[in-house]
C-alpha cells in the first residue's frame, strides 16, 4: 500500500515543481503631472498648426490690377483689368479698387506694368456728365505744372485760376473747378515763341464764359486736382 501521506503536493496552475515564479512590478498609470504636461504639449501643437494655417490662408479680398502693360492716356477696358487676392495695409486699401467695373472707361494717368495694383492716383474719370463743351486757354508752362507731361496731360482734372489787377491790386479767383484736360499743345520754340501751352479743356457750358473772360483779361493758372474719388 502506498503511503499517501508522504506524496508531494502538485504545484498550483501547472507550474513546474521546484522552479520559483518570477516576481514582476505591476505597471503603474502615469501621474497627474505627466497627464497635464502631455495635454499642454498637444494643445501647443494644435495652436501652432492653427497659426501656421491662418497665416498661409489665401487673402480674403481681391483688388483690381492691370492685365498687361498700360501707357498713359489709355482708356481702360474690361480686358485691361484683372483681380488678384492681396493682403494690403489699411492705407493701401483706402486707395485701391475691388470692383473692376468701377475703372472701365477711366483714363490711365501713368504707365502701369502687368500685374500692377490700380490705385486712385493712377486713373482719372472723364465720363462725368455736363462736360459737353470744349474750350482752349493759353497758359505759361510755369503756371501749368511747368508743362511737364508727367503731371499735365489728357485725362487730368484741374481747377482754372485767374489772376488779374483790380485797382492796382492783384486779385486771384477760381473761375472753374474740376474740369478735364482734353489735350495739351506746346508751341514750337523754334518759331520764336516762349513755349506757351495751349490747353484744351472739357467743361460744362456754364464755365465757358468765365474761362473765356479769364483767358482774355487775366493770367491763367491750372491747379492739378486729379484723383479718382472712391
Measured between alpha carbons, how far is 192 from 131 in angstroms, rounded to an integer? 34
pTM above 0.85, yes or no: no
Looking at the structure, do residues 137 and 215 belong to the same domain, yes or no? yes
> What rounded mean pLDDT belongs to the chain?
77
| DSSP label of 7 | S
More confident residue, 41 or 161: 161
In a domain, 85, yes or no: yes
Looking at the structure, do residues 99 and 173 belong to the same domain, yes or no? no
Q: With a cut of 70, say whether residue 18 has pLDDT above it.
A: no
Looking at the structure, do residues 143 and 171 belong to the same domain, yes or no? yes
pLDDT value of position 166? 86
- Grid cell in block for residue 193: 515763341
Looking at the structure, do residues 120 and 151 belong to the same domain, yes or no? no
Q: Count structural domains, the chain.
A: 2
Confidence of residue 60 (pLDDT cuts 50, 70, 90): confident
Q: With a cut of 80, say whether residue 226 has pLDDT above it.
A: no
Q: With a cut of 80, say whether residue 207 has pLDDT above it.
A: yes
Q: CATH number of the domain that 97 lies in?
A: 3.90.1210.10
Instruction: Kindly state the average pLDDT of the residues 26-44.
Output: 54
**Three-state DSSP class for 39?**
helix
Looking at the structure, do residues 145 and 93 belong to the same domain, yes or no? no
Looking at the structure, do residues 144 and 112 belong to the same domain, yes or no? no
Q: With a cut of 50, say whether residue 113 has pLDDT above it.
A: yes
Closest CA to 199 of 217, 213, 187: 187
Looking at the structure, do residues 141 and 220 belong to the same domain, yes or no? yes
Domain that holds residue 106: 62-124
In a domain, 3, yes or no: no
Q: With a cut of 80, say whether residue 116 has pLDDT above it.
A: yes
Amino acid at each position: 500500500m502506498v503511503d499517501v501521506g508522504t506524496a508531494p503536493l502538485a504545484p498550483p496552475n501547472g507550474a513546474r515543481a521546484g522552479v520559483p515564479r518570477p516576481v514582476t512590478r505591476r505597471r503603474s498609470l502615469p501621474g497627474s503631472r505627466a497627464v497635464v504636461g502631455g495635454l499642454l504639449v498637444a494643445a501647443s501643437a494644435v495652436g501652432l498648426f492653427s497659426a501656421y494655417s491662418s497665416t498661409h490662408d489665401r487673402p480674403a479680398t481681391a483688388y483690381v490690377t492691370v492685365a498687361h502693360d498700360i501707357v498713359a492716356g489709355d482708356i481702360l477696358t474690361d480686358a485691361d483689368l484683372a483681380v488678384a487676392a492681396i493682403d494690403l495695409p489699411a492705407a493701401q486699401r483706402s486707395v485701391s479698387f475691388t470692383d473692376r467695373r468701377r475703372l472701365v472707361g477711366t483714363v490711365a494717368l501713368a504707365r502701369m506694368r502687368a500685374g500692377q495694383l490700380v490705385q486712385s492716383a493712377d486713373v482719372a474719370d472723364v465720363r462725368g456728365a455736363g462736360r459737353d463743351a470744349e474750350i482752349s486757354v493759353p497758359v505759361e508752362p510755369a503756371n501749368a505744372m511747368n508743362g511737364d507731361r508727367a503731371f499735365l496731360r489728357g485725362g487730368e482734372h484741374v481747377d482754372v485760376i485767374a489772376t488779374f489787377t483790380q485797382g492796382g491790386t492783384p486779385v486771384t479767383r477760381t473761375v472753374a473747378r474740376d474740369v478735364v484736360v482734353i489735350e495739351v499743345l506746346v508751341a514750337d520754340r523754334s518759331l520764336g515763341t516762349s513755349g506757351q501751352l495751349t490747353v484744351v479743356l472739357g467743361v460744362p457750358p456754364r464755365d465757358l464764359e468765365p474761362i473765356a473772360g479769364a483767358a482774355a483779361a487775366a493770367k491763367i493758372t491750372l491747379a492739378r486736382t486729379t484723383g479718382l474719388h472712391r
